[in-house]
Every structure is written in C-alpha cells, then in structure tokens.
Amino acid sequence: MNKDAPGEDVLSVTGLSRSFTQGHVTIEVLRGVDFRIAPGEIVALLGPSGSGKSTMLQAIGLLEGGFGGTIAIDGEQVEKADAATRTRVRREKLGFVYQFHHLLPDFNAEENVVMPQLIAGRKRAAAEERSRKLLTELGLGERLTHRPSQLSGGEQQRVAVARALANDPVLVLADEPTGNLDEATSERVLGEFLKVVRGKGSAALIATHNTALARQMDRIVELHEGRLV
C-alpha cells in the first residue's frame, strides 16, 4: 500500500467516458470525467437519478469494462489491467458498500467480516480479532453471532461497512449506502460509517441523493450531463 507516500492520490481519473447503445439509440452517460481523491479524503458524489453515479463507481471499482479514459488507484494505472490484476487491486485497495448489503445469509456478522480477510490471506485468528474489533466500533459488539436475517436493516448495513473496511482499503466506494434505510437510521449509520472510515484513514467516494448527508463529507462533486461539476 502507498498510504505513506506523501501527496500520492488514492484515485486519479482522466477523461472517463462510457456510453450505452440500445438499438439505434446511444446514451453518453459519462463524457470525460476528470477527478482525483487525496488520501483519507471523503467525497460525496451527487447527481439526479440516471446521471451516471453507479456507472462511475463501477468503472472505478473495476467491476465493468467498456470505459474510455484512464484510472489510477493508489498510483497504479489500471484501465488496461487484466482480470487477475483487477481482482488483486479490488481485494487489496478497495472496499465496497452497496445500497443492499449483499451479506452472506448463512454466515453470522463476524463470519461475514472474516471472509474477505481469509480470501486476502490473513490468518483466521487475526481475521476474527479484527472482525470483532470493527463490529464493536460500529456498535455491534453484542451482535457478532447474529445472521443477517436476525439483524435490523441498519445493523446489516453496519456489518457491510465493517466488511468493506476489513482489509484496510485505501479507498471505499459506496453506492447509496443508506438508500434503503429510513431517514433517522440512515443518518446514524452514515455518521458511524464516516467516523470509522476517518479513524482508519481510508478515503471514500460515496454516491448519494441526500444533500444533507453529503454536507457531512469533506467535499461534494456532482455529475451533470456526463461531467463532474
């Protein structure tokens, strides 16, 4: 990890473009997005429905191909990387939080956070300790052995946050992380999310419709007609 390299951006995107063609119609969703995130910086990504927030997060998260432009993550140029490199960069450098948590239903909270650490090669005892620590920081110390179905929506989302942070990502990508929660829960979960991310020194890019939540972040960028304003 290049967390200690002074001044190195954790994300640098230039000329990011993406269009979708359906029949005779082509929509240019991203039209040359230039964008950087500094280490530890927490950035809100705003934009109306359909403006391309998810599309942009999928590009940066190396989840989809078909993009133009360049993407560097933690100093590593990845826009032309092969599948194995993309998987490695995702695992070592990125954390993901989605609107719906995508937790493994047959595993309890602790195991859901242990799993990505084992995949990354951490020893089970160390992974379990880290998992318990993260979940406790997120207020779930008493819920370690609950399965997702035995947790509230807000609690499930906090497990998803712990899972995203499990491997010390330099950058957390979140797509409407509190989108399926009521307003009060959403505020509480996001507050805890931001606190833990800040505590770990990770940077984050968080897509949201909610301008009040966006104001709690370090910087706000907005997608408008395929460009960032």
Ligand X SMILES: Nc1ncnc2c1ncn2[C@@H]1O[C@H](COP(=O)(O)OP(=O)(O)OP(=O)(O)O)[C@@H](O)[C@H]1O
177: contact with ligand X by CB under 6 A? no
Characterize the bridge pairing of strands 25-37 and 11-22: antiparallel
| Residue of 205, 192, 179, 176 lying closest to 139 (CA atoms) | 192
149: contact with ligand X by CB under 6 A? no
136/180 with CB nearer ligand X: 180
Q: Is residue 59 within 8 Å of residue 18, measured between CB atoms?
A: yes
CB of 28 to ligand X, least distance (A): 9
Backbone dihedral angles phi then psi of residue 51, each to the nearest 5 degrees: -80, -10
32/40 with CB nearer ligand X: 32
50/199 with CB nearer ligand X: 50
112/208 with CB nearer ligand X: 208
The rounded distance, in Å, linking the Cα atoms of 109 and 88 is 24
29: contact with ligand X by CB under 6 A? yes
CB of 85 to ligand X, least distance (A): 23
66: contact with ligand X by CB under 6 A? no
| Residue of 120, 189, 122, 185 lying closest to 160 (CA atoms) | 189
Look up residue 139 and give its two tokens: 């207020």
123/209 with CB nearer ligand X: 209
20: contact with ligand X by CB under 6 A? yes
Beta-carbon contacts of 93 under 8 Å, excluding residues fewer than 6 positions away, are 1, 10, 73, 74, 76, 169, 170, 171
Taking residues 33 to 62 in sequence order and writing x for each that binds ligand X by CB under 6 A, - otherwise, the string is --------------x-xxxxxxx-------
Residues near ligand X, by CB under 6 A: 20, 22, 27, 29, 47, 49-55
